[in-house]
Structures are given as C-alpha cells and as structure tokens.
Amino acid sequence: MLANKTALVTGSTSGIGLGIAKALARQGANIVLNGFGDVEGPKAEIAALGAQVAYHGADMSKPNEIEAMMAYAATEFGRVDILVNNAGIQHVARIEAFPVARWDAIVAINLSSAFHATRLALPAMQAANWGRIINVASVHGLVGSSEKSAYVAAKHGVVGLTKVTALENATSGVTCNAICPGWVLTPLVQKQVDAKAAALGISNDDAKNLLLGEKEPSMQFTTPEELGELAVFFCSPAGANVRGVAWNMDGGWAAQ
C-alpha cells in the first residue's frame, strides 16, 4: 500500500517508534529511523521486512539537527511522505520541585520537535497533495496525572498542534492525526515499573498490575504493534478524511 512512499519516524530505535516503523515498512514504505542507542539492530529489523532503511541521529531538542535530518531524508528518498513525531522523554516530580532544565528538555523534545519536523515536512507534502503527519501524543494529551506537569503540558500541546495542522491542510490531501496510547511497556514505562517494585518491595509482575490497575481498566498494556497498525490505518485510503483526531488506544483510561 505504501510502496514508493517514505516514512520518517522520530525516536524509532526502540519501543513505540520502532513498532510503527516496522508496520509502515511491512506496507512497503522506505523508512528513516532516528534515535539513540542500538542502531544496527533496528535497521536490520526494518531491512528484513524488505524495506529500504536509512538512519539519522538528530538530537530532537535541537532545531538545526532536525533541519539536517529532514534534508537528509529528502536527499536519500526524495521527500518525506509520512512523518511520525514520536520522540519523547519523561521526568516525574511535583511542580514546586520540578527541575527547570528537565521541563525545558521535555517541552523541547516532546512538543517543539514535532512543530519543527512538521513545518519542514509540509511544503513537499503540500506540493504533492499527499501527506500523513502522525503525532504520538499520549492519553496524557487528554487527561492529567500528578507529578507529570511537563509531560502532560507537552502532550496536550501535541494534541493542539495536531488540530491546527489538520485544519490548515483540511482541503488538501495532507492529513494530521494524533495517537494517544495508555500504558505501553516501553523502556520508559519499564523504569516506572522497576521504581514502583523497588519502592514497595514487590515483584515486577505485581508492580505492573498495580500500575495498570491505577489507570487502565483493561489491565492490559497496549503494544507497539497495535499502535503501528493504527498508524497504517491513518495512511490508508480509509483514513483520507480522518483529520485532527486524538485517537486514544488506552484500555479505557480516558473513558473513566
């Protein structure tokens, strides 16, 4: 379905981003990966699906590096047809104790990077009259949680950016939507599980159930594979008039 299309997925060397990149690769898209840590492993996983794959290590807190990444993608594959803004970090603390540097970093990586990548991707999408911008927000783009002020503020901002991007391109073939996952067992969430297990002196499995029980009625983690299939739907002909939605895949979290 996505043959001859190119997808750039930020924060895609693991977790949700890699799951989405693999789902798009299965549909024939060229993939540009971005992120830290192991790079060769994810590249090999994408290549094994028969897709062409490239990588750029842009630091998503730095606009000049985002510009370099977008230029690199255009040089490699012509243009970015599908942009998935997924890069994100987290820090947990009460507002009065929240380190200012951590606030700035979270807003830069979770929100501002999506703006910069979007503004750079739009002209080529508009010229082609086809494009898909998919912002990975969070259920925290819809509801709040204590001690996550920066993350919740940034993800609410991502949902707002999604709506404006969709509206500004509403009469074109360019769409923009947000995916709002609940708990996904990524390395980011596993750290919270480990911390809860250590703090309460319980097993990792019990800590997982406690985490799910606090927020997610289904008592199931959403998987990167499920999120990837939702991204594929947004890119399909069936998603052509889905515009500006914040689609929560959260096991009922926001329904409470």
Where in the sequence numbering do the catalytic residues fall? 151
Axis crossing angle, helix 204-215 with helix 187-200, rounded to the nearest 10:
110
DSSP state of 93: B
> Cα 31 vs. chain centroid, distance in angstroms?
15
CA dihedral 248→250→255→256, nearest 10 degrees, is -150
Burial letters for 111-126: b for 16+ Cβ neighbours within 10 Å, e otherwise?
Answer: bbbbbbbbebbbebbe
Contacts of 202 (CB under 8 A, 6+ apart): 196, 210
Beta pairing partners, 171 = none
Axis crossing angle, helix 15-26 with helix 40-47, rounded to the nearest 10:
20
